[in-house]
Each structure stands twice: as C-alpha cells, then as structure tokens.
C-alpha cells in the first residue's frame, strides 16, 4: 500500500510503514508526471511500484489531480 499526500504541487509517496519513498512531480516543459525517489537506496516492492505506476497513469489521463496551493 502506498499513500499519496499532496505537498505544494507534488505528491509525497509514503509506504504503509510510514517511510517516504519519494515524490511524484510534474515537468511542465515535457508535460509529464514522473516519480523521483527520496534517495538512491530506496528499493520499491512490486506492489509499491505498481501503485505509483497506476497513480502516474491516472495523473496523465486526468483521472487524478494534484491540488495546487494558493499562497495568496
């Protein structure tokens, strides 16, 4: 299980054990979402990798959104 928590214009990806796995970010120049691991030593389980892939696909298709923060 992976939890997805919005922080600014990113999603923190958190394992079921509470470990931050990384962030899903948006690259406006390429018009795509990508996963950036928190550090190079993180190894995703098959289930975690699949959950992140589903979220990335859903973001790309418009099924999911990353809430934008209004700093005004």
Residue 69 lies in a domain: no
- pLDDT of 8 reads 72
pTM of the full structure? 0.82
- pLDDT of 69 reads 64
Residue 72 lies in a domain: no
Residue 70 lies in a domain: no
- pLDDT of 34 reads 95
| Residue ranges in the chain whose pLDDT is less than 50 | none
- pLDDT of 70 reads 59
- pLDDT of 72 reads 53
- pLDDT of 33 reads 93
- Range of the structural domain that residue 23 is part of: 2-61
- pLDDT of 1 reads 80
- The number of distinct structural domains making up the chain is 1
Residue 68 lies in a domain: no
Residue 37 lies in a domain: yes
Q: Which among 72, 10, 62 is positioned nearest to 36, based on CA atoms?
A: 10
Residue 66 lies in a domain: no
For residues 59 and 24, the answer to whether their CB atoms sit within 8 Å is yes
Give the containing element (helix H, strand E) for 11: strand 10-15
Residue whose entry in the numeric block shows the structure tokens 């990384």? 22
Residue 20 lies in a domain: yes
């Amino acid at each position: 299980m992976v939890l997805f928590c919005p922080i600014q214009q990113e999603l923190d990806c958190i394992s079921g054990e509470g470990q931050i796995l990384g962030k899903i970010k948006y690259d406006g120049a390429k018009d795509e979402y990508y996963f950036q691991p928190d550090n190079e030593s993180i190894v995703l389980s098959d289930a975690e990798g699949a959950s992140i892939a589903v979220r990335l696909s859903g973001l790309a298709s418009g099924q999911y959104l990353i809430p934008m923060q209004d700093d005004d």
